[in-house]
Amino acid sequence: MKWLYIYGVDGLSVSGGGTIDGMGQQWWASTCKRKKTQPCYSGPRPKAVHFEECRGVSVQGVTLQNAQQFQLTFTRCSCVKASFLRVIAPADSPNTDGIHLNDTSHVHITDNLISTGDDCVSMVGNCSDVHVKDISCGPGHGISIGSLGKNRTTDMVENVRVDTCLLTNTTNGVRIKSWQGGMGFARDLRFENILMKNVSNPIIVDQYYCDQPTPCANQTQAVEVRKVEFANIRGTSATAQAISIACSDTVPCRELELANVNLTLAEGGGRATALCYRASGKSVGTVVPPSCLAKS
């Protein structure tokens, strides 16, 4: 389930322009996410360009488009650069994440235009020391940490910075998502200097994530979310609830910070709302809609 597959290679650079076209249209058409009648295909699809167990690799100045599934992925890699890329797929193409990290550290994702049918940038597993900067994202599902903790797994994500991004017409803005029953943590995360334009869920933390056809069972264990900052985030929300922070009863979110946030409704510019559940922290400067965080 890998199309262009680079394994165990150090010091490789992919550059020089050109287009890598996954031609995923036939794959998308047969998936159960798009095809509502049987027979449909629910199995895996190839990752278009996949690096695994590589060090000191860079991908820059190329176009990746219409992947069968994820467009550019890194698994168990370190010292990664992905910059000056155009990553493109239709808004309704299923699971065509732009850049996806799994168990990868020391990453710089910068100066990219990403327009896909899923997350523009996503990271799962054990990712650390990730810097995402100067990204234009949309359409798509925004910039996501997670999902974490599926099937009671232990996932750890820390030291992530998402800085100076434009999100336009995305279904989410900046998001942390985890399944009930998981273990580990998502901590030391900072989202800053982000402009939202008509984004459906601009700021979202969801420890009750459930992406399956049947309801997920309630479980007490959860991935810990701690030390997360949302700073200098402004723009418009396509939905009434611009901030949604839903945390675990037994493992609440702690040390969250909302600093200089200004999110209004896209239609009419009216007041948006904020919802917090089992979340504590502080607000700094002007926060619109008013912060709902409990004081630490």
Q: Which residues are catalytic?
A: 141
Per the structure block, which two tokens stand in for 270? 């009216």
Q: What φ, ψ does residue 131 adopt, rounded to 5°? A: -120, 115
Which of these, 76, 52, 54, 64, lies nearest to 1 by C-alpha position? Answer: 52
In three-state secondary structure terms, 16 is coil
Q: In what order do the strands lie in the sheet with 273-277?
A: 2-7, 47-52, 72-75, 99-102, 121-124, 143-148, 174-178, 203-206, 241-246, 273-277
d(CA 65, CA 22): 6
**Which residues face 230 on adjacent strands?**
191, 258
d(CA 224, CA 84): 34
Give me Rg for the CA atoms of the chain. Answer: 18
d(CA 110, CA 105): 15
d(CA 236, CA 266): 5
Per the structure block, which two tokens stand in for 242? 């611009």
Give the CA diameter of the chain.
54
Q: Is the peptide bond before 139 cis (omega within 30 degrees of 0)?
A: yes
